[in-house]
Amino acid sequence: MTTPSMSSPGSPSSPSPRLFPSSLSRRSFLKSALAFPAAATLPGLFARAAFASGPGDEVLVLVRLEGGNDGLNTVVPFADDLYHRARPGIGVKDPVKLTEETGLHPSLGALRAAWDEGALAIVQGVGYPDSSRSHFTSTDIWHTAFTGTPERWSGWAGRALDRMDEGEVPALQLDPAPLSLALTGERVVVPAVADAESFRVRGNKDLLAALVARPREGVAEDVRRAGATAYRTAERLEKSLGSGDARGYPDTDLSRRLWQVARLVEGGLPARVYAVRLSGFDTHAKQGNAHALLLRTLGDALAAFEADLKAKGLDKRVLVMTYSEFGRRVEENRSLGTDHGTAAPLFVMGGRVKGGLLGAHPSLADLDEGDLRFHTDFRRVYATVLDRWLKADSHAVLGAAYAPVPFV
């Protein structure tokens, strides 16, 4: 971890010495002002533009499928005999057909609506050269966006956030696990919460704040900063969360967290990136029911989220992207499961997405030692999101230029 980017030297609860309303970054202030050159002098419009996150504040929601999602049973080449031959025990027999050759696992039926509306893009054959079959190495590669020895031990989204103007809460992980390396920047401090609703400080707040006010050195400073950020974030979340109606959301952790994301975006939290996670995809044995349940959890949550955003008029400001560290072996194993593999599809969803299938399904006839060959480097997906959605310079963030994938 590095120097704090947003800690104030005084008490974390003391007002920050900004010239602009705290919910607004300087960049978006300027953008709003430029967007309404004539209206900027009108107090009503000005205040509105200043207090809501204005247009141009696109939000990215990262959904990590932890464990290596079986892409082949997620987006299914059901017309291919080789598929059914490789998977006599666990092959999907009744897909939700999207095209004459390709369908979704039936548990993802809820995504059909987004597909029909053209709000769901499926990027096929995503991976990287010499794919690692280690969960941990491959996750690090996806998060740092560096294959081989990482040039920098920081995440691709974290580095993008580093380049944006600081905000009170630049991004938010709705997951109590250690902060995802994807969101770890070299400058930025990203909070993580298990539940935005119950994330509140209990106790003598002044005393607690005083104990973490003075900057320390080394690891003590890392701990202090987390404490100070926690106290500050708790206040900000309370302001932005508002109440809401969970109607339409199923009763799962993933759904509850996405519901909170929708409320926080609506409530003007200046976070540009949110991260949530669904675990359990390491399906080495008897994967049928387990995988179906996971995909049901995913599909239902994403569909409810998209519908909620639409109802709130926010769907054009939010882009959802799923990813997993790798796909799985084409041939099922003796345990009615699948071992670690390589390329897999990922989903991109949102009101401004150009829906459809992007790229061909990797060939089942031309395998690399039993694994699918990727054709779309995952960093092309990142570059597209960075350049076209977050408006961050992908070349600088990723250290190289990658051709965009036209899903947005």
Partner 1 sequence: MHEMLKPYEGAFDFDAAAHLWRRAAFGAPRARIEETAKLSPRDAARSIVRGPEKDAAAEGLESVYAQVAGTGKVDAIRAWLLQRMVRCEHQLREKIALFWHGHFATSVLKVNEPAWMGRQYRIFLEGGLGAFGDLLGRVTRDPAMIRWLDNETNAKGHPNENYARELFELFTLGDGNYTENDIKEAARAFTGWHILADQYHFSARLHDDGEKEVLGARGAWNGDDVCRIALSQKACGRFLSRKLLQFFVTPDPPAEVVDAFGEELRARGYRIGECLEILFASRVFHASRGTLVKSPIEFVATSVRVFEGRLDASAAAGDLRAMGQDLLAPPNVKGWPGHTSWINTATWLARVDTGRRLASTFDVRGSGDDAVLAYGRLLCGKAPGAEERQRLAAADSDLAHALLCLPEAHLS
CA-closest candidate to residue 305, choices 181, 198, 179, 174: 174
The answer to whether 257 contacts partner 1 (rule: CB under 8 A) is no
Specify the 3-state DSSP secondary structure of 124.
strand
Side chain identity, residue 344: A
The answer to whether 235 contacts partner 1 (rule: CB under 8 A) is no
Side chain identity, residue 23: S
Residues 278/272, Cβ–Cβ less than 8 Å: no
CA-closest candidate to residue 195, choices 154, 255, 142, 143: 255
Q: How far is the CB of 55 from partner 1 (least distance, A)?
A: 29
Specify the 3-state DSSP secondary structure of 125.
strand
The answer to whether 8 contacts partner 1 (rule: CB under 8 A) is no
Calculated CA dihedral for residues 92, 95, 97, 99, nearest 10 degrees? -10
Near partner 1 in 109-168, by CB under 8 A: 132-137
The answer to whether 287 contacts partner 1 (rule: CB under 8 A) is no
The answer to whether 233 contacts partner 1 (rule: CB under 8 A) is yes
Q: Which stretch, 8-16, 21-29, 219-227, 267-275, contacts partner 1 (CB under 8 A)?
A: 219-227
Q: Which is nearer to partner 1, 232 or 380 (CB)?
A: 232
Q: Which stretch, 31-39, 107-115, 201-209, 359-367, contacts partner 1 (CB under 8 A)?
A: 201-209
The answer to whether 207 contacts partner 1 (rule: CB under 8 A) is yes
Round to whole Å and give the CA distance between 254 and 300: 10
Tokens of 47: 């205040």
The answer to whether 218 contacts partner 1 (rule: CB under 8 A) is yes
Q: How far is the CB of 379 from partner 1 (least distance, A)?
A: 21
Q: How far is the CB of 49 from partner 1 (least distance, A)?
A: 30
Q: Which stretch, 15-23, 229-237, 305-313, 316-324, contacts partner 1 (CB under 8 A)?
A: 229-237
Q: Which is nearer to partner 1, 266 or 282 (CB)?
A: 282
Say which residues have a Cβ less than 8 Å from residue 43's Cβ, sequence separation at least 6.
Answer: none
Side chain identity, residue 5: S
Q: Which is nearer to partner 1, 41 or 137 (CB)?
A: 137
Q: How far is the CB of 25 from partner 1 (least distance, A)?
A: 20
The answer to whether 334 contacts partner 1 (rule: CB under 8 A) is yes
DSSP lists the bridge partners of residue 120 as 349
Strand stretches in 142-191, DSSP E: 171-174
Residue from the set 2, 22, 204, 313 that interacts with partner 1 by CB under 8 A: 204
CA-closest candidate to residue 324, choices 60, 67, 61: 67
Q: Which is nearer to partner 1, 117 or 331 (CB)?
A: 331
Output DSSP code: residue 388.
I
Residue from the set 8, 11, 335, 363 that interacts with partner 1 by CB under 8 A: 335
The answer to whether 212 contacts partner 1 (rule: CB under 8 A) is yes
Q: How far is the CB of 316 from partner 1 (least distance, A)?
A: 30
Q: DSSP states of 34-89 as a string?
A: HHSTTGGGSHHHHHHHHHS--TT--EEEEEEEET---GGGTEE-TT-HHHHHH-TT
Residues of this chain that bind partner 1 (CB under 8 A): 1, 66-67, 132-137, 173, 176-179, 191-194, 199-204, 207-208, 210-214, 216, 218-224, 226-227, 229-230, 233-234, 279, 282, 284-285, 333-337, 339-340, 369
